[in-house]
């Protein structure tokens, strides 16, 4: 019964006048309630405060109930909020990767995927490097572009802890891609690491200039003097 409760709260908080513009901006087939992000966080905090889940299975069941039954985009945003609930910290293990894979593949758009990649899968990669490295290398060669994007972006916030070998290996299968979302992801990932080691990013761009897209190069070098 969690989804109807959430939907009611979001509907009450929403602004139907703003909803069409939000939907158009995100190019979303799914409509919006018209809830701005700060208010969405408040709604999620209040709605999920008394929700009980003592096991990973219960927590995943709640997430998938919302995700699969969602009719408005904010309902899926709320689902991602629940996925990051502090009470579920101990559940963030390789076991939940199948659930995140479903959210990535069925969500299939950057607003969902980027949040999952950097805020959910990234931390699991830090805690369980070996199995998640293997998973990301596999995803980097997937036919699904959103799994590829996830593999490229999962280390966004790692800074000096970035595994450069893994990053470059995850970029490699998409270097020649003409897909905008992969080109953008490559540039973004390199730009983030450039804050830590700009010289290395310059070297990488120089060596791979013939294969990197103009977009990827521009993004990668954006913050380097």
Reading the chain (225 residues) residue by residue, the pLDDT tens digits are 899 999 999 999 999 999 999 999 999 999 999 999 999 999 999 999 999 999 999 999 999 999 999 999 999 999 999 999 999 999 999 999 999 999 999 999 999 999 999 999 999 999 999 999 999 999 999 999 999 999 999 999 999 999 999 999 999 999 999 999 999 999 999 999 999 999 999 999 999 999 999 999 999 999 886
pLDDT value of residue 53: 94
The pLDDT of residue 43? 98
| Structural domain contains residue 122 | no
- Per-residue confidence (pLDDT) for residue 205, from 0 to 100: 97
Given a contact cutoff of 8 angstroms between Cβ atoms, the answer to whether 154 and 122 are in contact is yes
pLDDT attached to residue 225 = 67
Rounded distance, CA 212 to CA 64, Å?
37
Residue 73 lies in a domain: yes
Range of the domain at 2: 1-88
Buried/exposed code over 149-166 (b: 16+ C-beta within 10 A; e: otherwise): bbbbbbbbebeeebbeeb
Give the global pTM.
0.95
**Residue (of 6, 7, 10, 30) closest to 20 by Cα position:** 30
195 token code pair: 């804050």
Q: Cα–Cα distance between 123 and 33 in angstroms, integer?
A: 30
* Domain contains 151: no
DSSP class of residue 14 equals -
Cα 205 off chain centre by = 25
Cα–Cα distance list, 145 to 58, 104, 134, 173 (Å): 30, 10, 17, 11
Q: Is residue 128 part of a domain?
A: no
Confirm whether 57 is domain-assigned.
yes
Q: How far apart are CA 200 and CA 190, in angstroms?
A: 10
> Which CATH number fits the domain that encloses residue 55?
1.25.10.90
> How many distinct structural domains can be found in the chain?
1
* Residue 30: inside a domain: yes
Buried residues in 191-207 as b, exposed as e (16+ CB within 10 A): bbbbeeebeebeebbee
In a domain, 163, yes or no: no
């Amino acid at each position: 019964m969690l989804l109807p409760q959430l939907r009611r709260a979001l509907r009450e908080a929403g602004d139907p006048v703003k909803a069409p513009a939000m939907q158009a901006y995100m190019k979303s087939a799914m409509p919006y309630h018209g809830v701005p992000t700060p208010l969405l966080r408040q709604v999620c905090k209040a709605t999920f405060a008394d929700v009980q889940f003592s096991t990973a299975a219960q927590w995943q069941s709640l997430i998938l109930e919302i995700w699969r039954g969602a009719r408005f985009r904010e309902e899926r945003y709320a689902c991602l909020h629940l996925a990051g609930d502090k009470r579920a910290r101990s559940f963030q293990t390789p076991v939940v990767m199948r659930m995140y894979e479903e959210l990535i593949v069925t969500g299939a758009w950057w607003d969902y995927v980027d949040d999952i990649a950097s805020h959910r899968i990234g931390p699991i990669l830090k805690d369980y490097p070996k199995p998640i490295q293997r998973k990301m290398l596999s995803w980097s060669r997937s036919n699904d572009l959103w799994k590829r994007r996830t593999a490229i972006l999962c280390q966004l916030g790692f800074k000096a802890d970035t595994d450069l070998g893994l990053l470059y290996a995850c970029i490699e299968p998409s270097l020649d891609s003409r897909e905008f979302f992969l080109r953008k992801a490559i540039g973004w990932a390199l730009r983030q690491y450039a804050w830590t080691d700009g010289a290395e990013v310059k070297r990488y761009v120089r060596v791979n200039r013939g294969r990197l897209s103009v977009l990827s190069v521009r993004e990668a070098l954006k913050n380097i003097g």
